[in-house]
Amino acid sequence: MLKKTHNCGELNAQYEGQEVVLNGWVDRIRDLGGIKFILLRDRYGKTQIFFDPNENKELYEKSLTLGNEYTVGIKGIVKKRPDDAINKNMKTGDIEILATDIEIFSESETPPIYVNKDEDISENLRLKYRYLDLRKEKMQKNLIMRHKIMQASRKYLSENGFLEVETPFLTKSTPEGARDFLVPSRIKPGNFYALPQSPQIFKQLLMVSGFDKYFQIARCFRDEDFRADRQPEFTQIDFEASFVKKEDIFEYGEGLVKAIFKEAVGLEIETPFRQMSYDEALEKYGSDKPDTRYGMELIELNEYFENTQASFIKEKIDNNGVIKGFVIPKKAKEYSRKKFDYFTESAKQLGATGLIWIANDGDKVRSSIKKIAEKEIQDILNHGIIDNGDVMLLLTGDRKEVNKLLGQLRVKVIKEEMEKKSGFDILWIVDFPMFAWDEEENRITAEHHPFTMPNLKDLEMYKDDPLKIKAECYDLVINGYEMASGGERIYRKDIQKRIFEMIGLEEKEIQEKFGFLLEAFKYGAPPHAGAALGLDRLVAVICEEDSIKEVIAFPKTATGSSPMTEAPSRVDEKQLKNLKLKIIE
């Protein structure tokens, strides 16, 4: 076997005259003046190799049998390229290899997708032939970045005293939020394991066990309805520490992110990260994961419309509602009535009943309410809220609903209308509510999860109004994506039991699902806190990918299936019989 001495992204003019062996895939083939040229590719790069019939006719004729994606070993001599043939777009662009020997390891049929060029092909086809798709330079760079991020995480956490401990994949079903993936037990028919939605309970038990600092690059599984860019299995960089408060986790979390960017990206990130309360984020951006790089904060305009003749606005304000909006800078002259109709339809699709718009063209003002609110519009312009060339989109109604809808519309406008901003906008969102109201089940649920420590003063002060209780939890947001979530944990049995009861769990259910955790809290549990970074999303943001599928080696489709392996699939009757299961159609 011709075993490589170097990789395909390594050689340069310093190696001139040396004999080398390269292994890889044939990327491109071309003939020029009776000489055969090929580009050989591996994950490190590409190198040009040529076969000259005047040097070795037999070897040249063998090169004529090569095809794209053949795997080969090639021995040859490094030659400097002529000045007019240097390719500055290649790492190895100042040299080429004169082949002296070749070994064809395996041939390739014509691939169903191109590896050496981008093409617009369906996701299903890409995932069916994922092993070909992963040969593409972009995909290899993405997975290399994923590796670097994992290694940087392990290095930082290990150097700061955290121990890497694996927690079980086969565990107990304790559904609270998303559904569990269930695994039937052959030994105990009728009983099921669940794949973990997170290592949450086990890492807390490790704290009780005396392991004061834990981390894990953890696989997590959630059987949830597929929303935009979610996967049924995903990866977290999970860490927890004992005898700490949330401020300590901020320090560790910031140190981890700083180390990741320095080690994996080569970028220095400033710390500490700024903090913004949950309530402020909703009021200013209509979202608890705002991308603040674009500005475009939500502005309340109630004071300008208190005495308006626009009855549909005044009615909302008089009933404790609001009129709020955000400014799109320097787009007024671009936008025709057709564009505003599009925005209006977009707002309706999000759930709004309509949309108010104002465009300041400089020499004139256009608006959907100009005829009924000309004075109010002029007052807004006089106070410099809408500068020359700016556009403002507004909604009126219930404050909470208006904030939410404007937040969604703002994200859509940024994505479709604004020039993409570079850099990384990183902040902590703090002071989340402990509970949220579930309209479908008509009960309160935990906003994050029921193991988060509530603010103990709030717990007593608002025991009759639990939706006002704040939690000791936090999210890390990068460029508008929730990148990490964490909090101080409940470590007292009485508080944990009380929270379970507040979300509607009966005593029997508490004992069946969480009795082992409450039992552990009886034997000296330390105060503890932690967080988990979403590895898939972090890699996607760093690689500037819109979808996490681009940074996962073998992702599932939007329906949770694998076109390559055809999972999920039926199993044979014998397997079902062993598990004492039967399919009911």
Q: How far is CA 133 from CA 432, 538, 555, in A?
A: 41, 21, 12
- Which tokens sit at 87? 């390719």
Q: How many CB atoms neighbour CB 571 within 10 A?
A: 12
Task: Select from 304, 254, 204, 188 the least CA-distant residue to 533.
Answer: 254
Among 178, 182, 179, 208, CA closest to 195: 182
The DSSP secondary structure of 327-356, one letter per residue, reads EETT-TTT--HHHHHHHHHHHHHHT-S--E
Helices (H) then strands (E): counts for the chain: 16, 22
Report the alpha-carbon distance of residue 145 to residue 409 in Å, rounded: 32
Q: What is the DSSP string of 161-214?
A: T-EE----SSB----SSSBPEEEE-SSSTT-EEEE-S-SHHHHHHHHHTT--EE
The CB density around residue 461, as the number of other CB atoms within 10 Å, is: 12
Cβ proximity of 50 and 98 under 8 Å: yes
Phi (first) and psi of residue 415, to 5 degrees = -65, -40
Exposure string (b/e) for 435-444, b if CB count within 10 Å is 16 or more? Answer: beeeeeeeeb
Binding residue numbers: 176, 222-224, 231, 448, 482, 489, 534-537
Which tokens in the block code for residue 73? Answer: 């070993």
Annotated binding site for ATP: 222-224, 231, 482, 534-537
Q: SS3 for 466?
A: helix
Binding residues for L-aspartate: 176, 222, 448, 489
Distances (CA, A) of 114 to 28, 74, 119, 130, 564: 11, 23, 7, 12, 17
Tokens 């599009």 locate to: 342
